[in-house]
């Protein structure tokens, strides 16, 4: 079986490396390493190992963080994502710190990137999508399948598409000793 790389794939790869001013070989090696680590993290049965593998990719993950199965942290810019201590990222969530835009619509929808910051004690339920430039405040809960495209204040329950704060949470964030 032969592998065919199309002209479109070559243009896209060249465009990405040119945009990030990187050496094509180094960019390719970094991307492949991150892809391998992400694939391992997606299916490994021990949650602390999943978090460790994502840290190795460059994601800033705090202490005692649960990372579910099949979580996708940005594949090109994992270093732009921060997850605070005692947070949970549910299965099959996507956190994307960049937008690609297509080659034909680049003028209207340019390539951009911005950090994602998830505070301490945040629960991101399964199937959520968190877009670039979003900050989720400490002790917040994001409902199942929500799309977070704007900041969420601390101590909030947010859900929907797009996610909206539906309730302020009282008495959260205090650890019992």
Q: What is the 3-state secondary structure (H, E, C) of 89-136?
A: ECCCCEECCEECCCCCCCCCCCCEECCEEECCCCEECCCCEECCCCEE
pLDDT digits 0-9 by tens, 38-57: 999 988 999 899 999 999 99
Which homologous superfamily does the CATH classification assign to the domain defined by 9-168?
Hexapeptide repeat proteins (2.160.10.10)
Domain residues of the chain, as ranges? 9-168
**Dihedral pair phi/psi, residue 75, rounded to 5°:** -80, -25
User: E strand or H helix at 72, and its extent?
Assistant: strand 72-73
Q: What is the model's pTM?
A: 0.80
Give residue 84's Cα distance to chain centre.
13
pLDDT of residue 125: 97
pLDDT of residue 172: 66
Question: How many beta carbons lie within 10 A of that of residue 129, not counting itself?
Answer: 20
pLDDT of residue 103: 65
């Amino acid at each position: 079986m032969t592998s065919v790389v199309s002209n479109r794939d070559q243009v896209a790869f060249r465009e990405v490396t040119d945009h990030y001013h990187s050496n094509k070989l180094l960019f390719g090696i970094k991307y492949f390493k991150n892809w391998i680590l992400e694939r391992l993290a997606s299916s490994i049965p021990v949650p602390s190992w999943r978090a460790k593998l994502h840290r190795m990719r460059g994601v800033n993950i705090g202490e005692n963080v649960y990372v579910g199965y099949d979580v996708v942290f940005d594949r090109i810019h994992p270093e732009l994502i921060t997850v605070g201590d005692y947070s949970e990222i549910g299965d099959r969530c996507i956190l994307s710190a960049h937008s690609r835009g297509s080659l034909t619509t680049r003028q209207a929808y340019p390539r951009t990137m911005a950090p994602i910051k998830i505070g301490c004690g945040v629960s991101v339920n399964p199937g959520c999508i968190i877009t670039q430039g979003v900050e989720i405040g400490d002790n917040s809960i994001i409902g199942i399948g929500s799309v977070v495209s704007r900041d969420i204040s601390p101590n909030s329950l947010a859900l929907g598409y797009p996610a909206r704060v539906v309730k302020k949470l009282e008495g959260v964030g205090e650890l019992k000793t």
